[in-house]
Amino acid sequence: MKIIIAKNSGFCFGVRRAIDLALSFSKKVGTVYTIGPIIHNPQVVKKLAGEDIKVADHACDIRSSNNVVIRAHGIPKKTMELLKKRKMRILDATCPYVTRSKKYAEELSKEGYRVVILGNPKHPEIKYISSYIPGNKILLKSESDVKKIGFSKKLGIITQTTQSPENFIKIASTLLNYSNEFKVFNTICPDAINRQKEAQRLAKKSDLILIIGGKNSANTVRLAAISKKIQPRTYHIEEAKELEKRWFKNVNTVGIVTGASTPQWIIEDVVNKVKDIT
Amino acid sequence: MKIIIAKNSGFCFGVRRAIDLALSFSKKVGTVYTIGPIIHNPQVVKKLAGEDIKVADHACDIRSSNNVVIRAHGIPKKTMELLKKRKMRILDATCPYVTRSKKYAEELSKEGYRVVILGNPKHPEIKYISSYIPGNKILLKSESDVKKIGFSKKLGIITQTTQSPENFIKIASTLLNYSNEFKVFNTICPDAINRQKEAQRLAKKSDLILIIGGKNSANTVRLAAISKKIQPRTYHIEEAKELEKRWFKNVNTVGIVTGASTPQWIIEDVVNKVKDIT
């Protein structure tokens, strides 16, 4: 059986950077805390706990004497203000692509645009960006939500970094009916786009696709959805132990696509397990 | 037979303003010249010639001692500079909506956007706006032209004032694939939109549509195209004398839609002639 691994696999730049920053910070100062998981991969987060990088649910769960690393998705403005007020030692590991989106959103707001953010309002990235936009903003999860918004004098549009370009263009196009003046930033992460393209390419040439990554990871969930549209035999797993022998019946080619926060060792585990059971 | 006249008929604000300005100027100073027709209605232009408002093809066809009225569509930057250099007395009757588009285009260019102008490159309005944009701009007539342009860092988009909103959104949506940063102004004239809506409404409820206006008038040609899609029995005429009795066979309801530069007296002529021949 042939196994093809997607070209863009393993950690993306932002995830690698966040983990490296947290590790070197913890080496220097001892135990550090993130508010919410540093990245959306439970296995990596568990491993990092052994390296003195712990997860707190809320800022108030951490003592003022503790050290804090800001997760790759960023944290809401109020939480950051609270940390600063408590004079805690902070290292910001927010992904530069996410920070850039937040800067664009702030710029739009300052220039008088009603800010539209395309993405999942419950995702920490969107919570972070949205928290920096005062007043009348619009959080749009899907095209059907567009109808709910009225006509605005000026609309400024940004999108979650893990959005698919097709969705972004579809929703932004519909929004063109709702104002006469727009400023639009396509803030999809280039790495996310490359992974999506690879998922499409492999889904077309494989009998089965394994998407490896956190079930809570937006970019991984997106990859699974994109792959499933082309190859219905798409399975989203976090670890090798989830693999089932029966999935591989009549399969000649397996495509392996990984989320931006999936570590190399999980990919290797999966490849070995696939070889074992088939 | 029932005759329904579109709600928005006769001169639009910009045409009325240009003619009023030219008339009061010529009353004050005598003969005045426009470079190209002041508006796109040959019958009105002919009538105005009798009121000392003459048409010159080029700036060099006018003597320095002559007085100039700038047509409703505007004139290219170089022509304006030539007139000013020759210290001619100039009255600018460019439509404020067209001037506004030009200002937006200049703003986009200054802000570093590659400027895209959706419209007919041969139309004087587009020639006027385009002449104020130095360097690398894109003139797009239709959606199929979009493929010719490459990826740009920043795209700024405006449109001819007589564009249809559907076309504008269609082309602007396609353009969303060609950059990651956009500033978009929907510069379609509100009066043009209202006339287009009326054309659609009347085309749906009439057995025959008469579109009255200059054959060289972009907004009138647009109205005829929109109406023809719904009611194939659509005739674009400039004057009553073009009407043919055979058009009205089995017609119970006639809808009359007029371009923005069609005068009231032509509309009345057409209505009377329709009544006469049917």
Contact A180 B173 (CB under 8 A): no
For residue B69, which phi and psi values (nearest 5 degrees)? -110, 125
Minimal Cα distance from A159: which residue of B?
A: B180
- Segment A263-276 mean pLDDT: 96
Spatial distance between the Cα atoms of A197 and B10, rounded to a whole number of angstroms: 54
Q: Give me the percent of chain A exceeding a pLDDT of 90.
A: 93
Q: What positions of A carry a catalytic annotation?
A: 125
Indicate yes or no: CB of B176 within 8 angstroms of CB of A183: no
ipTM metric: 0.87
Mutation target to probe the B interface, by most B beta carbons within 10 A, among A107, A173, A175, A177 is A173
**CA atoms A222, A224, A225, A226: torsion sign:** positive
Report which residue type is found at A229: K
What is the model's pLDDT at position A31?
A: 96
DSSP H or E segment with residue B22: helix B13-29
Q: What angle do CA B17, B19, B23 make, to 5 degrees?
A: 120
Q: Is A127 exposed, middle or buried (0-12, 13-18, 19+ CB in 10 A)?
A: buried
Mark yes or no for CB contact A181/B182 under 8 Å.
Answer: no
Q: Say how many C-beta atoms besides its own lie within 10 A of residue B67's C-beta.
A: 18
- The average confidence (pLDDT) of chain B is 96
- Cα separation, A230 vs A177, in Å, equals 31
Question: CA–CA separation, A140 vs A124, rounded Å?
Answer: 15
Taking only the tens place, the pLDDT of each residue in B199-244 is: 999 999 999 999 999 999 999 999 999 999 999 999 999 999 999 9
If you average pLDDT over residues A210-216, what whole number do you get? 96
Q: Is the dihedral of CA B208, B209, B214, B216 positive or negative?
A: negative
Partner B contacted by A186 (CB < 8 A): yes
pLDDT of A36-90, one tens digit each? 999 999 999 999 999 999 999 998 899 988 999 999 999 999 999 999 999 999 9
User: Taking CA A41 as the corner, what is the angle to CA A37 and CA A45, rounded to the nearest 5 degrees?
Assistant: 50
CA A278 to chain centre: 32
Put simply, the answer to whether A182 touches B183 (Cβ < 8 Å) is yes
Instruction: Check residue A207 and give its pLDDT.
Output: 97
Q: Is the pTM of the predicted complex or chain greater than 0.80?
A: yes
Q: Of A26, A45, A37, A33, which is closest to residue A88 (Cα–Cα)?
A: A33
To the nearest whole angstrom, how far is the Cα of B224 from the nearest Cα of chain A? Answer: 23
Calculate how close chain B gets to A250, using CA atoms only, in Å. Answer: 39
Q: How far is CA A22 from the centre of its chain?
A: 18
Q: Is A87 left (phi over 0), alpha (psi -120 to 50) or beta?
A: left
pLDDT in tens, A233-257: 999 999 999 999 999 999 999 999 9
- Identify the closest residue of chain A to B185 by CA–CA distance: A181
